[in-house]
Amino acid sequence: MNIPLTRVTKLAELQVQLEKNMKDAEAAFEQAKKSYAKVAREDLPELMREVGLESVKLKSGITIELKEDVDVGIAKAMRDEAMAWLTKYGYGGLIKTGVAIAFGRNEEDKAQSLAASLIEQFGEDNVDVDRNVHHQTLKAFVRERMATGKDIPPFEMFGIRPFTEAKIKHPKA
């Protein structure tokens, strides 16, 4: 066998092994994230509450504190209903609207003009207009509403899942 072909074979085998290593590492990382989430969102908060603690300081100087938070997410099937709810209750300003079409560089004016023209010509029902709320905007909105108890969006419609998480605070160096 000639030497260049031997080198090609060895590098190809190395690449295959590295690909396997990456897949194994990704799988291990995903499992570690699941385990971390279970401890941080279920096991430790439950135990801390059971013994009456809101925070605990470890010998290392690390502090663990319980924090209330919420996951949110509007399912595609619920999007129209959720946008209608926001509009009905005066929160339509949270909604971002988009019309999808590809234009070249420096053609933003053309895109804006076309979108307005399409809606005027064909009506909003015939033009693919995407209405949505940015995830972080929705999360902040839901948190604020839950804190004040006013106009809380329907949990199922907005995918609202409150949780308590044990947050780690490392000591300042």
pLDDT digits (tens, 9 = 90+) for 55-93: 999 999 999 999 999 999 999 999 999 999 999 999 999
Q: Where are the domains of the chain?
A: 3-67+164-169, 71-162
pLDDT greater than 90 at residue 1: no
Instruction: Give the residue-averaged pLDDT of 13-21.
Output: 98
CB burial class (10 A; 0-12, 13-18, 19+) of residue 35? exposed
Pairing of strands 96-99, 55-57: unpaired
**Full-model pTM:** 0.68
Band the pLDDT of 135: cuts 50, 70, 90.
very high
Position 2 scores a pLDDT of 73
